[in-house]
Every structure is written in C-alpha cells, then in structure tokens.
Amino acid sequence: MIFLCKVSDVPAGRSKRIARGRKPAVAVFDVDGTFHATADQCTHGTALLSRGKVTAGRIVCPLHSGSFDLLSGAPVDLPCDEPLAVYRVEVRDAGIYADVPD
C-alpha cells in the first residue's frame, strides 16, 4: 500500500489527482464519504478522470463522456472500451492508502 494523501486533501464529494513523478498518476474520489482510487488517465485518451464526475456509480470522463464502473473499472459507456485500473483503498490515521502497483 502506498500513501496517497490526507483525507482532508480531498474536497467532500469531489476528486483529487495524485501526481507520482514519472509513475502514472492516481485519481482519488470521495463518493458519499467513501474513498475510491483509480488510474487518473482515461483508457480512451489523455483526459484526466480526476477532472471528471462520479454519477450513479460511474466515473464519467470529461473529454468524450465515456464512463467506467467506479468499483470494477469496467468500461460502461463508449467510447471507453478498455477497463480502468482500480485500486483497493484503506483509510487509517486520517490518511488514504491504496494498493497501487509500483
């Protein structure tokens, strides 16, 4: 598990991009007080999903409005047709951690 950010770093009901230098960035979403972490880059293009919206259990890409299932990362709406990496999240000591491969 890697440390992503503090709970207080993610605005309530919103998302945050976690830059990781040369490693792929991670998007953290606060959905009704539960945190989710995914790859930040959409599998369809170069859009950042941390700038998208979560609605009805789907992450909606801000560029072409494709979407992914929040829990599984499975593509839901075209043009997304490749799954999105989703990471198991733990919250401890007011920090958000996730199983992001190194």
Tokens of 57: 């259990």
Residues 6+ apart with CB under 8 A from 91: 7, 35, 97
Site for ligand FES in 40-99 (CB under 6 A): 42, 44-45, 47, 61, 63-64, 66, 79-80
Q: How far is the CB of 8 from ligand FES (least distance, A)?
A: 29
Site for ligand FES in 6-45 (CB under 6 A): 42, 44-45
Strand order in the sheet with 89-92: 2-6, 95-98, 89-92
Give the residue with the Cβ less far from ligand FES, 57 or 99: 57
How far apart are alpha carbons 44 and 79 in whole angstroms?
A: 7
- Interface residue list for ligand FES (CB under 6 A): 42, 44-45, 47, 61, 63-64, 66, 79-80
